[in-house]
């Protein structure tokens, strides 16, 4: 079983934790790692089992790969559990394509494998992980926050909301922002097939996109994205029919995972902080998966929080003490938002998309410059 929580006598647990992290996904576990490295007491509460799967593109851009090094798990993957990729290729319905290598490699990793390694690292550092424990409410007090859960009450100096795209804590704490104007959804499935390229391929059609990411030497993850009304009865077979080039590559490859969905993807927060609480990962805000930067943003935002943690706790984990994290997060998110919104604007105008892709085909150096600039912006921010 992946990520079984550490079973410890409750009497040995502190009456006041430094951090309680709500959510045992990549962002929550990464936060546990950076906090436990500093000797802080950390409790992670996950409402499901640790290692639970969800729809995810599973591609880490170079800043995310560097974050894995910072988290101490980069060397825990090999070709059977991950697959490097060296660039992005966009393929249109007429077969025309444009591609750009990245300044250094990205990495495809199955989410379940990534969670297993993050869980191992967090446990090694002394974080306590408790699964099947849903958080009901968080109440800030002058000297602590009280966390009510299905397993009882806990107290912490700071609560970290890492409970995902549709964060209940973001809503309950009054931090939820306006919903995005576009409602895009995704379905993801894995296929047992040898990767045919060392690029992540993005297949584009007027009705949506399909992302093919190599995640091991015998597995490719496919993530299909669409908007309601564009596709009748969306299923993996009907969505793959939109992309005959990808369907031909997959051939008769067997599916090796359950189909999982996500969406609507566009979610926002008015800010990332309130007294005794901070948002990380998708809970802090997400636009769309089209740029493939979700995991990189999640990991690097937790690293930003980590380097501010001791100062935040020393100042009482107030909203004011969390402002440095808010400022740095906005700097990190700004580049992602610019690139993602630009790509969505092009995607929503098929004629413009075709013109842009054909232009990038003729001038590949422009595509390389855009790719390198965006990646370096993210790497510098974190």
Residue 141 pLDDT > 50:
yes
Report which of 250, 242, 241 is spatially closest to residue 219, judged by C-alpha positions: 250
Q: How far apart are CA 267 and CA 282, in angstroms?
A: 8
Residues 131-140 pLDDT 10s: 999 999 999 9
pLDDT at 5 over 50: no
Cα angle 277, 283, 287; round to 5: 140
For the chain, which residues make up each domain, given as ranges?
10-53+113-179+268-340, 59-110+180-265+346-381
Residue 215 is predicted with a pLDDT of 96
pLDDT at residue 348, rounded to an integer: 82
- CA 48 – CA 238 distance, rounded (Å): 30
Terminal CA-to-CA distance of the chain, rounded, Å?
Answer: 33
Say how far apart CA 321 and CA 323 lie, in whole Å.
6
Cα separation, 51 vs 115, in Å, equals: 5
pTM of the predicted model, to two decimals? 0.92
Spatial contact of 215 and 221, defined as CB atoms under 8 Å apart: yes
Cβ neighbors of 373 (< 8 A, separation 6 or more) are none
Report the phi/psi class of residue 279: left, alpha or beta, with left for phi > 0 and alpha for psi in -120 to 50: beta
pLDDT at 310 over 50: yes
From CA 118, how far away is CA 224, in angstroms rounded? 26
Mean pLDDT value across residues 180-207: 92
Domains 10-53+113-179+268-340 and 59-110+180-265+346-381 share a fold: yes
Residue 33 CA to residue 158 CA, distance in Å, equals 15
Q: In the 3-class helix/strand/coil scheme, how is the chain assigned residue by residue?
A: CCCCCCCCCHHHCCCCEEEEEECCCHHHHHHHHHHHCCCCCEEEECCCCCCCCCCCCCEECHHHHHHHHHHCCHHHCCCCCEEEEEEEEEECCCCCEEEEEEEEEEEEECHHHHHHHHHHHHHHCCCEEECCCCEEEEEECCCCEEEEECCEEEEEEEEEECCCCCCHHHHHCCCECCCCCCCCEEEEEEECCCCCCCEEEEEEECCEEEEEEEEECCEEEEEEEECCCCCCCCCHHHHHCCCHHHHHHHCCCCECCCCEEECCCCECECCCEECCEEECHHHHCECCCCCCCHHHHHHHHHHHHHHHHHHHHHCCCCCCCCHHHHHHHHHHHHHHHHHHHHHHHHHCCHHHHHHHHHHHHHCHHHHHHHHHHHHHHHHHHC
Residue 377's pLDDT band (cuts 50, 70, 90): low
**CA nearest to 296, candidates 339, 342, 333, 341:** 333
Pick the CATH number of 59-110+180-265+346-381 from 3.30.360.10, 2.60.20.30, 3.40.50.20, 3.50.50.60: 3.50.50.60
pLDDT digits (tens, 9 = 90+) for 319-356: 999 999 999 999 888 888 888 888 888 888 888 888 88
Residue 10 banded pLDDT, cuts 50, 70, 90: low
CATH match for 10-53+113-179+268-340 among 3.50.50.60, 3.30.300.180, 3.30.70.20, 3.30.420.140: 3.50.50.60
Average pLDDT rounded to a whole number, residues 358-370? 83
**Residue range 57-68, pLDDT digits in tens:** 789 999 999 999
Task: Give the largest Cα separation in the chain, rounded.
Answer: 67
CB–CB of 15/108 below 8 Å? no
Tokens of 1: 């079983």
pLDDT value for 14: 86
Give CA–CA dist 17/58, Å, rounded. Answer: 32
pLDDT at 2 over 60: no
Q: How far apart are CA 55 and CA 62, in angstroms?
A: 21
Mean pLDDT of the chain: 90
């Amino acid at each position: 079983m992946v990520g079984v929580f550490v079973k410890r006598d409750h009497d040995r647990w502190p009456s006041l934790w430094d951090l309680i992290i709500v959510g045992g996904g990549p962002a929550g576990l990464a936060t546990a790692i950076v906090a436990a490295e500093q000797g802080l007491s950390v409790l992670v509460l996950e409402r499901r089992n640790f290692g639970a799967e969800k729809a995810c593109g599973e591609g880490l851009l170079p800043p995310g790969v560097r974050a894995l090094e910072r988290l101490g798990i980069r060397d825990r993957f090999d070709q059977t559990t991950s697959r490097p990729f060296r660039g992005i290729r966009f393929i249109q319905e007429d077969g025309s394509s444009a591609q750009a290598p990245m300044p250094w490699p990205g990495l495809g990793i199955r989410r379940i494998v990534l969670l297993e390694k993050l869980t191992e690292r967090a446990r090694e550092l002394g974080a306590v992980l408790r699964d099947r424990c849903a958080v009901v409410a968080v109440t800030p007090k002058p000297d602590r926050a009280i966390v009510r859960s299905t397993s009882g009450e806990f107290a912490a100096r700071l609560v970290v909301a890492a409970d995902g795209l549709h964060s209940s804590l973001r809503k309950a704490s009054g931090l939820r922002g306006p919903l995005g104007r576009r409602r895009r959804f995704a379905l993801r499935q894995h296929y047992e097939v040898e990767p045919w390229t060392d690029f992540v391929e993005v297949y584009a059609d007027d009705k949506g996109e399909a992302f093919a990411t190599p995640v091991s030497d015998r597995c490719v993850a496919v993530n299909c994205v669409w908007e309601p009304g564009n596709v009748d009865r969306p299923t993996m077979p009907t969505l793959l029919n939109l992309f005959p080039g990808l369907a031909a590559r997959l051939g008769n490859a067997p599916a090796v995972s359950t189909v999982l969905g996500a969406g609507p993807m566009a979610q926002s927060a008015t800010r990332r902080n309130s007294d005794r609480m901070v948002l990380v990962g998708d809970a802090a805000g997400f636009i769309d998966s089209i740029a493939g930067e979700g995991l990189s943003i999640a990991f690097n935002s937790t690293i930003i929080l980590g380097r501010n943690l001791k100062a935040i706790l020393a100042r009482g984990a107030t909203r004011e003490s969390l402002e440095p994290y808010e400022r740095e997060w906005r700097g990190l998110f700004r580049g992602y938002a610019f690139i993602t919104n630009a790509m969505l604007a092009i995607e929503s105008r098929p004629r413009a998309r075709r013109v842009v892709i054909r232009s990038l085909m003729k001038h590949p150096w422009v595509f390389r410059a855009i790719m390198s600039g965006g990646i370096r912006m993210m790497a510098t921010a974190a």
